[in-house]
């Protein structure tokens, strides 16, 4: 079964009835993948905000009144 995370690709074979990876390792891998996805989404949000143009109007400034 192909297993792909961003630039990492590996072939994994699972034998019925046996867990080739301990549950603690699976949990650690899942947490790592979720963290990377959050970082990627945060970076995309920052890029979008940095590239957007916002228009704001300030109140008129009266000088000498």
Which string of DSSP letters, residue by residue, matches 22-56? -HHHHHHHHHHHHHHHHHHHHHHHHHHHHH-----
Q: Higher confidence at residue 3 or residue 58? A: 58
DSSP letter (8 states) at residue 1: -
- Please state the domain extents for the chain: 17-50
Distance separating alpha carbons of residues 26 and 4, to the nearest angstrom: 15
Q: pLDDT, tens digit, for every residue of 4-42?
A: 666 766 777 767 776 678 889 989 999 999 999 999 999
pTM above 0.75, yes or no: no
């Amino acid at each position: 079964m192909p297993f792909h995370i961003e630039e990492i690709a590996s072939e994994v074979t699972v034998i019925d009835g046996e867990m080739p990876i301990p549950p603690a390792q699976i949990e650690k891998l899942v947490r790592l993948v979720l963290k990377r996805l959050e970082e990627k989404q945060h970076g995309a949000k920052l890029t979008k905000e940095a590239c957007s143009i916002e228009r704001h109007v300030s109140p008129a400034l009266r000088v000498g009144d």
